[in-house]
Structure 1
Amino acid sequence: MTANTLSSGFTPPPHLQVTWTDPVTGREGYVVIDRLVRGVSSGGLRMREGCTLDEVRGLAAGMSRKEALHYDPANRYIPLGGAKGGIDCSPHDPRAREVLGRYLDAVRSLLKHHWTTGEDLGLRQDTLDDVLAELGVDSSIEAIYPLLDDAAEARARLADAFAVDVDGVLLADLVGGLGVAESALTALDHLGIGRTAARAVVQGFGSMGGATARYLAQAGVRVVGLADAWGVVLNPEGLDVERLLRTRDGLGGIDRSQLRPGDTEADGDAWLDITCEILVPAAVSYCIGAAEQGRVTARIIAEAANMPTLPEAEAALHARGTLVLPDFVANSATNAWWWWTLFGDIGTDADLAQRKVRDAMSRLTADILTGAEEHGVTPREAALGVVDRNMGDIEARFGRPGEPAADHANGGGHGDPR
């Protein structure tokens, strides 16, 4: 990284934003396409009470960064633009599924041509797939098909990968957390902290938080606290992550009947107060603000959730030496794995997939932390510099929307990624 790769800090306005109002319940939903690459964008769909347009806009911009971060001109996968969807409705609302159906029906033209999406906070992929099938929509990633050499083969490969089981948990539910864990472990190495001497606390025990806890524990880190929607379970000697992972419910709820002697419970807010080296917010946005950051003891915050740390809090944490690994870095592996698999950069072998995730995340995190140290900036600023450089390379190759470029003018296919 050189000085001229640091980010300018400028965030352009989104390409498109849509607000939808449910005619039955009055609930609102949103789609924001931050940018398009070859006419397509990527980003998940979340359902939560209180979801706002500003939230979705920020998440969409984060997806543009997450996509660009993994650009490698040698890969068949070329990063897409960033997008995000959100519905202001609790997933526990008895009308949630019908609200989801009306929302998806309303935005189906975007799904068909410009927005590829998948599960996010409060929404599982199988639910999304079922509702889309009921609407006669082929897939949540239909917009990507024109960019594939063989869409049928690619879809079969991705379906096979989604069926791969790794020690009782689907590979698709593990790769994101593996990426978060690998990023955190690389940061531990950067700080010279031994893995077996480190303690971790994870807020959220769904796909991302559960997998992060699993891989941290496998690396020798003691997971001393786990938080779900009903509170915190903790043990200073380390929780039995595997036992709790196999018995959690579909939305990441911990089965308290599976706690061992020595495990205790605390209120939901207590996760911030537990002494640890690694803190993983893996559930909700905006949960570490100016007031909360003073309670954090961790040396590393690995943002498995999207936008969990507010800027003022991050500045204060950085000033006292806490490394904040930004969301668009730490939680980027799920997105990358989807596209690596779909485009054929990797197959369905779990060991090879996990190795690629580990290699990509450790290299990326190490480069960003080294660059941040060299230039006296935060890890986020260093990562934004990498994003800016990669976005420039992508635009030079494929052009901005409506502008020609060498590959773009020749159809933008994948026959020769060079």
Structure 2
Amino acid sequence: MSTAPLLSTTWTDHVTGSRGHLVVDRLVRGVASGGLRMRAGCTAEEVAGLARGMTMKEALHYDPSGRYVPLGGAKGGIDCDPRSPEAYGVLVRYLRAMRPYIERFWTTGEDLGLTQDLVDRAAAEAGLVSSIQAVYPLLDDETEARRRLADAFAVKVDGIGLDELVGGCGVAEAALAALDRVGRPYAGARVSVQGFGTMGGATARFLDRAGLTVVAVADVRGTIVNPAGLDVEALLASRDAHGTVDRAVLRPGDREEGRDAWLTADVDVLVPAAVSYAIDTAGQERIRARWIVEAANMPVLPEAEERLAARGVVVLPDVVVNSGTNAWWWWTLFGDIGADAEEAFGRTRSAMRALVGRMLDRAEADGTTPRAAAHALAEERLAEIGERHGWY
């Protein structure tokens, strides 16, 4: 797969001077899929890397027997602090500027710093029918498909929306598949999670309910630690819109440590679920976990990953681990599954189990890392998609 994207554009907000980026890495049937993130310091290079990752995430879920045909990969990013009073206005103006792309070939949704509700509200204000309207011409029955997706977004499980849970279900299942592969019992396995927003929070819930012990959770204020295990449900219930935990709910055994304490926790599984580039070469030396499960996009720098592999630390890559949310959107919209939580979780678990298994088998056979194996599998899928559906 070429490293040069199909399209890359940069926008400058005429009000604040904030910059935004859109990178379309590849089109399939004329459409690309990828979320929109907002964070201070977001760069064009970062967005390009994320867009390439989306191409692979889509391809890895290709099932010739399914109604959903994977789309191409794209990504949007805005260099702005999402907590800024100006952030919403910047978001609306970005979407208004990108409206021609969103209407024709870029389907987008929530990513780091944004919620789907906020994206939907801003998209409507920007004059868009939907943030995913470019895919509508590919649907057999647009009205029924939109109703099915809206119904799915209305489903809540124990107080949390299904759309917020499916990604974490996929991340957790990837971790569980890795544990099962080496016969590691869930009971007694310890977990540290960086980021307690949509993805990190849901991952913590599923791992906790599977019987693992979540001993550390980091948010923007620091890391909450309890070697005996945190009350994950209480922490989830106390979060604000940005995933910050209300410290008033902490129990006597819980303690607060620094923002980097999640990295050095004595755990089996480390889940970076917040920003990109969270683990560098210096940080990797302090990691004690056996598995790093990339719930965030691009959290481990390549050189750090090389050193981790040399130490026997297995990194399960983002292109596989956090692909569940994207796949769920399209399975639901195209009609491979209905607006039902158990059906969504069941499809996500089975798909992730199969994909992680193929990736680890390939890594073992080729003598490579799981990431290299995932990329090789994606290349094979992309070639097949190109032959069946064309290259644009």
Q: Shorter-chain TM-score: what band? A: over 0.9
* Mapped partners of 2:356, 2:228: distance in 1: 28
2:193 to 184, 188, 202: 202
Q: CA deviation at 1:197?
A: 2.1
* Mapped partners of 2:324, 2:194: distance in 1: 19
* Mapped partners of 1:101, 1:165: distance in 2: 28
Q: Tell me the equivalent position of 2:264.
A: 273
Q: CA deviation at 1:192?
A: 2.2
Secondary structure of the residue aligned to 2:218 is strand
Q: Tell me the equivalent position of 1:50.
A: 41
Q: Which amino acid aligns with 1:143?
A: A
Q: CA deviation at 1:322?
A: 1.0
Alpha carbons 2:219, 2:244 under 8 Å: kept: yes
* Mapped partners of 2:181, 2:308: distance in 1: 17
Alpha carbons 2:93, 2:126 under 8 Å: kept: no
Q: CA deviation at 1:189?
A: 1.1
* Mapped partners of 1:59, 1:187: distance in 2: 24
Q: Deviations over 1:93-142 (max 9, x none)?
A: 11111111111111100000010000000111111111111222100001
Q: CA deviation at 1:319?
A: 1.1
2:389 equivalent to 1:398: yes
Q: Tell me the equivalent position of 1:151.
A: 142
Secondary structure of the residue aligned to 2:140 is coil
Q: Tell me the equivalent position of 1:342.
A: 333
* Mapped partners of 1:201, 1:386: distance in 2: 29
2:356 equivalent to 1:356: no
Q: Deviations over 1:264-309 (max 9, x none)?
A: 1101011111110000000000010110000111111000000000
1:76 to 30, 42, 67: 67
Q: Which amino acid aligns with 1:174?
A: L
Q: Deviations over 1:27-83 (max 9, x none)?
A: 100000000001000000011000000000000000000000000001000000000
2:135 equivalent to 1:136: no
* Mapped partners of 1:248, 1:97: distance in 2: 21
* Mapped partners of 2:185, 2:137: distance in 1: 47
Secondary structure of the residue aligned to 2:187 is helix
Q: Tell me the equivalent position of 1:65.
A: 56
1:220 to 211, 225, 228: 211
Q: Which amino acid aligns with 2:223?
A: V
* Mapped partners of 1:131, 1:288: distance in 2: 33
* Mapped partners of 2:284, 2:310: distance in 1: 12
Aligned length: 392
Q: Which amino acid aligns with 2:250?
A: L
Q: CA deviation at 1:256?
A: 0.7
* Mapped partners of 1:25, 1:394: distance in 2: 42
Q: CA deviation at 1:156?
A: 0.6
1:283 to 262, 268, 274: 274
Q: Deviations over 1:382-408 (max 9, x none)?
A: 11111011001100101112xxxxxxx
Q: Tell me the equivalent position of 2:240.
A: 249
Q: CA deviation at 1:349?
A: 1.4
Q: Tell me the equivalent position of 2:9.
A: 18
Q: CA deviation at 1:366?
A: 1.5
* Mapped partners of 2:375, 2:200: distance in 1: 24
Q: Tell me the equivalent position of 2:308.
A: 317
Alpha carbons 2:59, 2:70 under 8 Å: kept: yes
2:323 equivalent to 1:332: yes
Alpha carbons 2:31, 2:72 under 8 Å: kept: yes
Q: Tell me the equivalent position of 1:415.
A: none
Q: Which amino acid aligns with 2:379?
A: D
2:150 equivalent to 1:170: no
* Mapped partners of 1:131, 1:370: distance in 2: 43
* Mapped partners of 1:315, 1:191: distance in 2: 22
Residue range with higher mean Cα deviation, 10-19 or 299-308? 10-19
Secondary structure of the residue aligned to 1:174 is helix
* Mapped partners of 2:90, 2:230: distance in 1: 38
Secondary structure of the residue aligned to 2:315 is strand
Return 5+ residue gaps in structure 1 as ranges: 1-9, 402-418
Q: Normalized against structure 1, the TM-score is what?
A: 0.93
Moved over 6 A (4+): none
Q: CA deviation at 1:369?
A: 1.1
Q: Tell me the equivalent position of 1:413.
A: none
* Mapped partners of 1:343, 1:306: distance in 2: 25
**Where does 1:295-310 land on structure 2 (aligned, <5 Å)?**
295-310=286-301
Q: CA RMSD in A?
A: 0.8
Q: CA deviation at 1:320?
A: 1.4
Return 5+ residue gaps in structure 2 as ranges: none
2:367 equivalent to 1:376: yes
Secondary structure of the residue aligned to 1:195 is coil
Q: Tell me the equivalent position of 1:87.
A: 78
2:106 equivalent to 1:115: yes
Q: Which amino acid aligns with 1:312?
A: E
Q: Deviations over 1:241-260 (max 9, x none)?
A: 01111121111011111111
* Mapped partners of 2:188, 2:383: distance in 1: 41
Q: Normalized against structure 2, the TM-score is what?
A: 0.99
